[in-house]
Amino acid sequence: MKKKIFSLIAVAAALVLAGCGEAQSDASSAGATPTSSKKATSSKIPSSKHEHTFNEAIWEHNEEQHWHPATCEHGTAKGSVADHDFEDFTDATHVPVAAGCETPGKAFKKCKVCGYIKEVVIPALGHNFEQVANTTVTAEGMTEWYQVKCSRNDATGIGFSALNYVDSGSTSSNAFGNKDDSGATLKMSKNGNYVDYKITLTNAMPNVRIWMHGWVDYWKDSSNHNDTRGFFIGQDGSEASETDSPNFTFTVNDENVTIDNRKTYEGMGMVAGENGNSAFAFVPVGNTALKAGENTIRYARTGSYNLNIDAIYFINTAA
């Protein structure tokens, strides 16, 4: 089996080599030759009189432009070169897919001039959760929570304000979660700070995904690496890698949740090379389970970047 594959590769390689050889000899006669032959050529046909000729029946293209290929000896000359002029396109094999809350969609664009078709990715929309009327629950010593439903699809779950914690891991002033200047978000001022939430459910929610709504501060580090990290610490200033850590830990009923989304910076509006704040974003961070009865949830800051969150959601997922 392997031998057969290798022999096929060898044949393909030989074909490629033959093609290259041909192209090279064409190129050398076309102008990459020594000065002497160039002089001879120019004495016969003055360069000022030569006009490239093109095959106007054919369009060649790259991702940005199209052009007619040359039919004279100047193989790299391009006729009528211009940017593509795209319009929406669909046919039996190019079927657009609408973006969902969590799944990206796609569309197709076709150049009106040359016919080049490209696929365009439409980013996932994100859920648009709305509080279900009259479901707010308030109990003594408990976090106030409410049922939510996405206006775009069937996703349902529960949510609560990040400011509505019931306990804090600090006794020193200004060390636990504080409301930010506007009073709208929970802002941990030191690593190790944490807050606890408690919610009591009638029915278990065995498969839920944790979503956090918030924003982060970000700065260039001493190596001028931008902090495109979102809720993750990207040590090299780029997309968080396997060795990078989240800026926070999330514990449900004393079990640490695996933070699995390392691309939380996407959609947070971070600008490479600039200091500032991300946009408010609603991002999934990991999966967990909630039981019937009282659930204890702990949210702690571990990374050195300010996290500002205003809401935490547990959204039901397929098993």
- Compute the residue count for the chain: 319
Task: Answer yes or no whether residue 290 interacts with Zn ion by CB under 5 A.
Answer: no
Residue choice 78, 109, 118, 152 for contact with Zn ion (CB under 5 A): 152
Task: Answer yes or no whether residue 298 interacts with Zn ion by CB under 5 A.
Answer: no
Task: Answer yes or no whether residue 114 interacts with Zn ion by CB under 5 A.
Answer: yes
Task: Answer yes or no whether residue 80 interacts with Zn ion by CB under 5 A.
Answer: no
Task: Answer yes or no whether residue 150 interacts with Zn ion by CB under 5 A.
Answer: yes
Residue 149 token pair: 């439903």
* CB nearer to Zn ion: pick between 101 and 289: 101
Residue choice 68, 84, 149, 229 for contact with Zn ion (CB under 5 A): 84
* CB nearer to Zn ion: pick between 83 and 255: 83
* CB nearer to Zn ion: pick between 56 and 255: 56
Write out the binding residues for Zn ion, residues 13-52 only, by CB under 5 A. Answer: 52
Q: Contact at 8 Å (CB) between 304 and 216?
A: no
Distance (Å, whole) CA 316 – CA 311: 16
Q: Which residues of 138-169 are buried (b: 16+ CB within 10 A; e: fewer)?
A: eeeebbebbbbbbeeeebebbbbbbbbbeeeb
Binding segment for Zn ion among 17-25, 103-111, 134-142, 238-246 (CB under 5 A)? 103-111
Scan for tokens 């795209």, then name that residue. 86
Which residues, other chains included, contact 196 with Cβ-Cβ below 8 Å and sequence gap of 6+? 165, 166, 167, 168, 169, 296, 297, 298
Q: Which amino acid is at 74?
A: H
Task: Answer yes or no whether residue 315 interacts with Zn ion by CB under 5 A.
Answer: no
Q: Contact at 8 Å (CB) between 141 and 166?
A: yes
Task: Answer yes or no whether residue 127 interacts with Zn ion by CB under 5 A.
Answer: yes
The residues binding Zn ion (CB under 5 A) are: 52, 66, 72, 74, 84, 101, 111, 113-114, 116, 127, 150, 152-153, 155
